Chain A
């Protein structure tokens, strides 16, 4: 599809037009020197030149906690599914987060269709923005997530005084109809876009020493490496690496009952394989009792298991985990590079 160009000033008008017609927009805002997704009330709040958000936008598709069904166990027990999905626009999503959402799409539509996720996904319009100021812990180029040509409805690229807009879907095209003064992008503008992207690629500070497709093989050889013990020694089992991860989708399902002891709900909430009780089972058993097995498991998920199952890596190289880890052991790139160094 042809690409459009929109001045920055007109983008703000566009956002406010959407807001005034009642669209719900979730976008990136400043938060204590960092950035976070949140509900947008005015275009002025929207940041599009951010490096990374504290939490990934996928939490608006797979909420930290959501009801799955409501039940009543009075005389004749009954249960009703709960599916909440209201249309909204996820505004300013970086390509690595778009690719993380694509992984969730695959995971939640393979085998069992996850109605809750898929309905919410259907209700979402994704407006992406190219990441031109990567976070120092990011290694997106190595994970093939620095840029994307799909997975969005619209994708913006900052070329100085305006944005180039790529249209990724009919939904995106439709949305853009309400936008004032978009022009066809000229060859000069498209060249600017390419230049900006190349410049951004030069800003990444971390890179994988192993080609992406060779990660499973590298890990196959590394199971017994002493590095796992060394790396995980200082692990706090605090789950921070998982809580901030855009690709982690594990959840726990529990029931909660009202004080009347008859009405209640079954809900799911985010769970993390780095937590001690994640693999705990009845009878005091725990499949991953020690931190080294949990630590290794997470890295295998990121570099091998997910890749073998869904054909794409379980890590998009955003670097959020590395930023969140106080013990400074969470970066998959750093870990894989150490394994690579050792296997030489």
Chain B
């Protein structure tokens, strides 16, 4: 029996789901292994009978909390997919203002029609079995996780910083180019895609298990960032974490 899989979106750009649809080389093979029974962005049919739930997006409404809890009850395996689901992501930027302010900024005169709560990652609401961090999540990691689940193997994310992959890519260090980077404390797995393409690491995959934040902050300061700059940098994707407070 092929496992039944559902994709569910919460507060997000839906780019991670779109990423799944972009797996053009692998989709046919993937569909031989699993049945997709719920995927709003890709199909009309909907079933509440699924084994594996992929959750995209941060949780930002009371209704979202209830919906997520129901999905958790139905799914044997629940996976947080993408930075918003894993970390809260950029949605957590709003947590640094009052919810009233946010509603007013976004909805203006119509603010009273809406409600919102501080943004939070999926695991702040329900237990998460696996994480696929990244903005967007990484295809190879997604496929490796699916294979591991099917083979009953343990799937693990890299627990080392982006620097490892960045060095292996042969990149000139961002700091050496006079810029700054969150690579030294950010979980690898992205193959240092941003630095390899000329930018710096924004920390979209969250922190490694035991990051040396003090050292990273000192290095950022030495390279010209103020305390406020550093906080802003961490808040971009990691606003829910202690490091951004």
Residues of A within 8 A of B (CB): 31-34, 36, 54-55, 64, 233-240, 243-244, 256-257, 259-261, 270, 272, 275-277, 291, 324, 326-327
Say yes or no: A327-B219 contact (C-beta < 8 A), given A32-B172, A34-B172: yes
Partner of A259, one of B26, B161, B210: B26
Further pairs besides A238-B160, A240-B164, A243-B164: 20, Cβ < 8 Å:
A33-B172, A34-B172, A233-B215, A234-B214, A234-B215, A235-B215, A236-B185, A237-B161, A239-B163, A240-B163, A259-B29, A259-B33, A272-B164, A275-B159, A275-B160, A276-B159, A276-B160, A276-B208, A277-B160, A327-B219
**B244 CB–A CB distance under 8 Å:** no
Shortest beta-carbon distance from B215 to chain A in Å: 4
18 contacts between A and B (CB under 8 A): A31-B170, A32-B177, A33-B172, A54-B171, A55-B170, A235-B215, A236-B212, A237-B210, A239-B163, A239-B164, A240-B167, A243-B168, A259-B143, A261-B147, A261-B151, A276-B160, A276-B209, A291-B212
Q: Contact at A259–B184, with CB atoms within 8 Å?
A: no
Shortest beta-carbon distance from A110 to chain B in Å: 26
Q: Contact at B210–A276, with CB atoms within 8 Å?
A: yes
Partner of B172, one of A54, A237, A243: A54
Q: Contact at B147–A270, with CB atoms within 8 Å?
A: no
Q: Contact at A270–B160, with CB atoms within 8 Å?
A: no
Shortest beta-carbon distance from A31 to chain B in Å: 7
Cβ contacts under 8 Å, B141 to chain A: none
* Contact flags B201-230 to A (C-beta < 8 A → 1, else 0): 000000011101011101100000000000
Give the docked Cα–Cα distance between A291 and B184 (Å).
Answer: 15
Give the docked Cα–Cα distance between A236 and B177 (Å).
Answer: 20
Chain A residue, CB-CB nearest to B158: A277
Give the docked Cα–Cα distance between A31 and B176 (Å).
Answer: 13
Give the docked Cα–Cα distance between A248 and B151 (Å).
Answer: 34
**Does more than half of chain B's interface fall in helix, strand or loop, or is it mixed?**
helix
Shortest beta-carbon distance from B189 to chain A in Å: 13
Cβ contacts under 8 Å, B168 to chain A: 55, 64, 243, 270
Residues of B within 8 A of A (CB): 26, 29-30, 33, 143-144, 147, 150-151, 159-161, 163-164, 167-168, 170-173, 175-177, 183-185, 208-210, 212, 214-216, 218-219
Cβ contacts under 8 Å, A272 to chain B: 160, 164
Chain A residue, CB-CB nearest to B186: A238
Shortest beta-carbon distance from A29 to chain B in Å: 11
Cβ contacts under 8 Å, B185 to chain A: 236
Partner of A238, one of B33, B163, B171: B163
Shortest beta-carbon distance from A227 to chain B in Å: 17
Q: Contact at A234–B167, with CB atoms within 8 Å?
A: no
Cβ contacts under 8 Å, B171 to chain A: 54
Give the docked Cα–Cα distance between A54 and B170 (Å).
Answer: 6
Say yes or no: A236-B172 contact (C-beta < 8 A), given A261-B150, A291-B212, A326-B219: no
Q: Contact at A236–B143, with CB atoms within 8 Å?
A: no
Cβ contacts under 8 Å, A32 to chain B: 172, 177
Cβ contacts under 8 Å, B151 to chain A: 257, 261
Q: Contact at A236–B215, with CB atoms within 8 Å?
A: yes
Shortest beta-carbon distance from A38 to chain B in Å: 8
Shortest beta-carbon distance from B108 to chain A in Å: 45
Give the docked Cα–Cα distance between A169 and B161 (Å).
Answer: 42
Give the docked Cα–Cα distance between A240 and B185 (Å).
Answer: 12
Q: Contact at B215–A327, with CB atoms within 8 Å?
A: yes
Q: Contact at B160–A324, with CB atoms within 8 Å?
A: no
Give the docked Cα–Cα distance between A244 and B164 (Å).
Answer: 10
Shortest beta-carbon distance from A336 to chain B in Å: 22
Give the docked Cα–Cα distance between A244 and B173 (Å).
Answer: 12
Cβ contacts under 8 Å, A233 to chain B: 215
Give the docked Cα–Cα distance between A55 and B175 (Å).
Answer: 17
Q: Contact at A236–B163, with CB atoms within 8 Å?
A: yes
